[in-house]
A and B are shown apart, each in its own frame.
Chain A
Amino acid sequence: MQKTEALSPTEPADGGDAQATTPLLRVRGIQKHFASSQGLFRRSHRVVRAVDGVDLDIEAGKTLGLVGESGCGKTTLGRMLVRLDSPTSGGIILDGHNYGAATSHELKQYRQLVQMVFQDPMASLDPRMTIGQSISEPLTVMRICTKKEAHKRVHSLMQSVGLPEEMANRYPHQLSGGQRQRVGIARALALEPKVIVLDEPTSALDVSVRAQVINLLRDLQRDTGISFVFISHDLSTVRYISHEVAVMYLGTIVERGPVDQIFESPRHPYTRALLAAIPIPDPRKEKERQRYVLTGELPSPANPPSGCAFRTRCPIVTDFCAESAPQLERTEDGGYVACHFASLAKSESGSLPVFTDVRLKESIQQ
């Protein structure tokens, strides 16, 4: 186990040490590469960079929203955060210890601190275990308490997620989707972790149930001071629950910052495109606003574009973008953005950027 000092944290550009508090969980330069072999006889090995150098800070008692479209690596990142997958390289630093390449003994320790809630609540519960058995599984496996205490603990956990005690004897198929996800949350809480990674916890739920689950998470955070990493592509939910937001594109973070800054004045063209996709619940406003629609597909992470990964779909792309990959740089309002033209593209959320540079405009029209 490495001490933090031994690891040289690759802080974003201008030093990022302005934060008053040290974050609870720090992720530095984390990468996950998968080898994919193609061809039957002529085997060519390609490396898929699912997550390619991500830095994150998770503050105690706060929620970090992680957004991005399908296939951008956010689930892989989440699985690495709980160490279900081991990172190819990079550090996960919690309490001064780096768990990036932890041994199984260290992992046991880590898993008491960082837990996960899964996307599909039905699939995340063993159909042959009762709810009580599922929730008490971490307690039983870790032998944290006697069976009698575990029994009590299960009931208090069920209470804290708003499930009636009698449900402990039921099987997952007898519960509704929302109830199942509450069971998943109760199980994640069983070890009293400091961080819970929520991998699209509401995407399989009805809208009405979704709101209940989100409010439950907020209440839990208020009561216990737990931190969340909320992985989602549902931007309105992310805005509601998060304190900070990180936007992922093709395995890297393209923009991150406080939630209001991201939603009010996004810098990265990709963030703006994502925000433009949120429908406005007012038909007149919706009609008036200029749509900022992304064309094309997410490029394959096995064969990413040169320079800026987003340049193939970017509305403000220039020749320069193909040559140099932008690094995350600090903006004046406290966020980080990885775009060469971030300062140019500052504008209202959802609308097209206003270009002052004629040369730039021409290059788009080409």
Chain B
Amino acid sequence: MATAGIALRRSGAWVETVKDLRTSTAGRFFSNRSNQIAVLFIGPVVVLALIAQWLPIQEPLEINIVDRFQSPSLGHPFGTDGLGRDLLSRTLAGLRLSLWIGFAAAMIALTLGVIIGTMAGFMGRGVDRAISVVTDVMLSFPTLLLVIGVVAVMGPGVTQIIIAIAVADTPRAIRLQRSLAMGLRSRPYMDAARLASAPTRWILVRHVIPNTIAPMIVVATLYASNAIQAEAALSFLGLGIVPPEPSLGNLVADGRNYLQNAWWISTIPGLCIAIVAIGLHFLSDGVRDFLDPRQRS
């Protein structure tokens, strides 16, 4: 953010300021109440999902028919399913997949949204019209329907799901970026940059994107949350991740026939979806405050 500032100041005093800034940046992030709640929700889940393969638990695909329908216990903290597979292990594997899908889909939508939306906002009427027509057509489909359609064409699989969800989110991101960019177009500081003979590239990179990226990141966290839920919905419908590979949606779908006898099979993965979604919503609130330069002292 302060690259030019860094270039401007190479004195010893400046190095110290950078250090101060870094420590205070982390401090600022965690002093925000929304961020604290978000970390509380997502932190343990993410850490567990990432280290799952090194934990001393049963492999997610390992079948142990003797131990089927075990309720949660010390040996199987989340219980086992109808084939005796360890649900803790399967849930964590599903979580990792879900988090990856959420992150990847949101990043794709964010990147495409920023690039195409900025083009629509800054490259004149013709480009804007063309882009707007395409996004409008895509937005006229219900999100889930669009995702199902894309998956139906491309077939199931992690990459396909990521692409499908990104396709559904990108028009929204484009629209948002376009309106943010257009709002900036007539700001006096844009005029000031033009008076400095700044080329369009400079104006976009130094003024437009830094001033629009904060709200875009905020919605991107919401897109991540939506993507996780969309994956769960797709897998639940049997259109997503192919069993036996676990995903949160698959696990919920697996357990729905046994809800009365083995409640844990569906409930615990379902709770995980909720926890991650809620955590991401808090994170988006916190990130918004964090990225606002006015909140800096």
Interface residues of A in 134-160 (CB under 8 A from B): 134, 136-138, 140-142, 147-148, 150-151, 154
Residues of the B chain whose Cβ atoms lie less than 8 Å from the Cβ of A93 = none
| Complex-state Cα separation, A84 to B197, whole angstroms | 10
| Among A127, A137, A173, contact of B196 (Cβ-Cβ < 8 Å) | A137
Q: Interface majority SS on A: helix, strand, loop or mixed?
A: helix
| Among B5, B7, B191, contact of A116 (Cβ-Cβ < 8 Å) | B191
Tell me how far the C-beta of B21 lies from the nearest C-beta in chain A, rounded to whole angstroms: 9
**Residue pair A126, B202 in contact (C-beta under 8 Å):** no
Q: A330 in the interface, Cβ–Cβ < 8 Å?
A: no
Interface residues of B in 206-255 (CB under 8 A from A): 206-207, 210-211
| Complex-state Cα separation, A298 to B196, whole angstroms | 35
Q: B142 in the interface, Cβ–Cβ < 8 Å?
A: no
| Among B1, B7, B8, B188, contact of A118 (Cβ-Cβ < 8 Å) | B188
**Residue pair A140, B192 in contact (C-beta under 8 Å):** no
Q: B19 in the interface, Cβ–Cβ < 8 Å?
A: no
Residues of the B chain whose Cβ atoms lie less than 8 Å from the Cβ of A119 = 188
Interface residues of A in 165-202 (CB under 8 A from B): 168-169, 171, 173, 184, 187, 191
Q: How many residues of A contact B (CB 8 A)?
A: 39
**Residue pair B196, A130 in contact (C-beta under 8 Å):** no
**Residue pair A171, B189 in contact (C-beta under 8 Å):** no
**Residue pair B196, A118 in contact (C-beta under 8 Å):** no
**Residue pair A171, B296 in contact (C-beta under 8 Å):** yes
Q: A350 in the interface, Cβ–Cβ < 8 Å?
A: no
**Residue pair A126, B195 in contact (C-beta under 8 Å):** no
**Residue pair B5, A84 in contact (C-beta under 8 Å):** no
Q: B4 in the interface, Cβ–Cβ < 8 Å?
A: yes
| Complex-state Cα separation, A293 to B296, whole angstroms | 49
| Among A123, A140, A173, contact of B189 (Cβ-Cβ < 8 Å) | A123
Q: B294 in the interface, Cβ–Cβ < 8 Å?
A: yes
Residues of the A chain whose Cβ atoms lie less than 8 Å from the Cβ of B146 = none
**Residue pair A118, B192 in contact (C-beta under 8 Å):** yes
**Residue pair B8, A136 in contact (C-beta under 8 Å):** yes
**Residue pair A137, B197 in contact (C-beta under 8 Å):** no
| Complex-state Cα separation, A240 to B109, whole angstroms | 56
Tell me how far the C-beta of A35 lies from the nearest C-beta in chain B, rounded to whole angstroms: 14
Residues of the B chain whose Cβ atoms lie less than 8 Å from the Cβ of A231 = none
Q: A229 in the interface, Cβ–Cβ < 8 Å?
A: no
> Which of A107-115, A269-277, A284-292, A308-316 is the contact stretch?
A107-115
Tell me how far the C-beta of B202 lies from the nearest C-beta in chain A, rounded to whole angstroms: 6
Residues of the B chain whose Cβ atoms lie less than 8 Å from the Cβ of A191 = 196
Interface residues of A in 319-358 (CB under 8 A from B): none
User: Which residue of the partner chain A has the closest CB to B184?
Assistant: A126
Q: Please judge, given known A-B contacts A115-B195, A127-B293, A142-B196, whether A154 and B8 are in contact too, CB under 8 Å.
A: yes
| Complex-state Cα separation, A154 to B8, whole angstroms | 9
Q: Please judge, given known A-B contacts A128-B211, A132-B5, whether A171 and B293 are in contact too, CB under 8 Å.
A: yes
User: Which residue of the partner chain B has the closest CB to A155?
Assistant: B8
**Residue pair B8, A133 in contact (C-beta under 8 Å):** yes
Tell me how far the C-beta of B161 lies from the nearest C-beta in chain A, rounded to whole angstroms: 35
**Residue pair A125, B189 in contact (C-beta under 8 Å):** yes
| Complex-state Cα separation, A154 to B199, whole angstroms | 22
**Residue pair B188, A123 in contact (C-beta under 8 Å):** yes
**Residue pair B193, A168 in contact (C-beta under 8 Å):** no
Q: A261 in the interface, Cβ–Cβ < 8 Å?
A: no
**Residue pair A173, B294 in contact (C-beta under 8 Å):** yes
Residues of the B chain whose Cβ atoms lie less than 8 Å from the Cβ of A107 = 197
Q: Please judge, given known A-B contacts A84-B195, A128-B1, A171-B293, whether A147 and B189 are in contact too, CB under 8 Å.
A: no
**Residue pair A173, B197 in contact (C-beta under 8 Å):** no
User: Which residue of the partner chain B has the closest CB to A128?
Assistant: B210
**Residue pair A141, B7 in contact (C-beta under 8 Å):** no
Q: Please judge, given known A-B contacts A108-B197, A126-B211, A128-B293, whether A137 and B192 are in contact too, CB under 8 Å.
A: yes
**Residue pair B197, A147 in contact (C-beta under 8 Å):** no
**Residue pair A137, B8 in contact (C-beta under 8 Å):** no
Q: A221 in the interface, Cβ–Cβ < 8 Å?
A: no
Q: A69 in the interface, Cβ–Cβ < 8 Å?
A: no
| Complex-state Cα separation, A31 to B260, whole angstroms | 81
| Among A123, A126, A147, contact of B8 (Cβ-Cβ < 8 Å) | A147
Residues of the A chain whose Cβ atoms lie less than 8 Å from the Cβ of B187 = 123
Q: Please judge, given known A-B contacts A126-B211, A130-B5, whether A137 and B193 are in contact too, CB under 8 Å.
A: yes
Tell me how far the C-beta of A239 lies from the nearest C-beta in chain B, rounded to whole angstroms: 27
Tell me how far the C-beta of B167 lies from the nearest C-beta in chain A, rounded to whole angstroms: 31
Residues of the A chain whose Cβ atoms lie less than 8 Å from the Cβ of B189 = 123-126, 134
**Residue pair A118, B191 in contact (C-beta under 8 Å):** yes
Q: Please judge, given known A-B contacts A136-B4, A141-B198, A151-B9, whether A124 and B193 are in contact too, CB under 8 Å.
A: no
Residue-wise interface mask of A (91-122) relative to B, using a CB-CB cutoff of 8 A (1 in contact, 0 not): 00000000000000001100100011011100
Q: Please judge, given known A-B contacts A127-B293, A136-B4, whether A141 and B9 are in contact too, CB under 8 Å.
A: no
| Among B2, B8, B294, contact of A151 (Cβ-Cβ < 8 Å) | B8
| Complex-state Cα separation, A107 to B188, whole angstroms | 19
Residues of the A chain whose Cβ atoms lie less than 8 Å from the Cβ of B256 = none
Ordered by A's residue number, 12 sampled pairs between the chains whose C-beta atoms are within 8 Å are A123-B188, A125-B192, A129-B206, A132-B9, A133-B8, A134-B189, A136-B8, A138-B196, A151-B9, A171-B293, A173-B294, A187-B192
Given A127-B211, A128-B210, 17 additional A-B pairs, CB 8 A: A84-B195, A108-B197, A116-B191, A116-B192, A125-B189, A125-B192, A128-B1, A128-B293, A134-B192, A141-B193, A141-B196, A147-B7, A151-B9, A169-B5, A171-B296, A173-B294, A191-B196
**Nearest 6 A/B pairs, CB to CB:** A138-B196, A124-B188, A118-B188, A108-B197, A126-B189, A128-B210
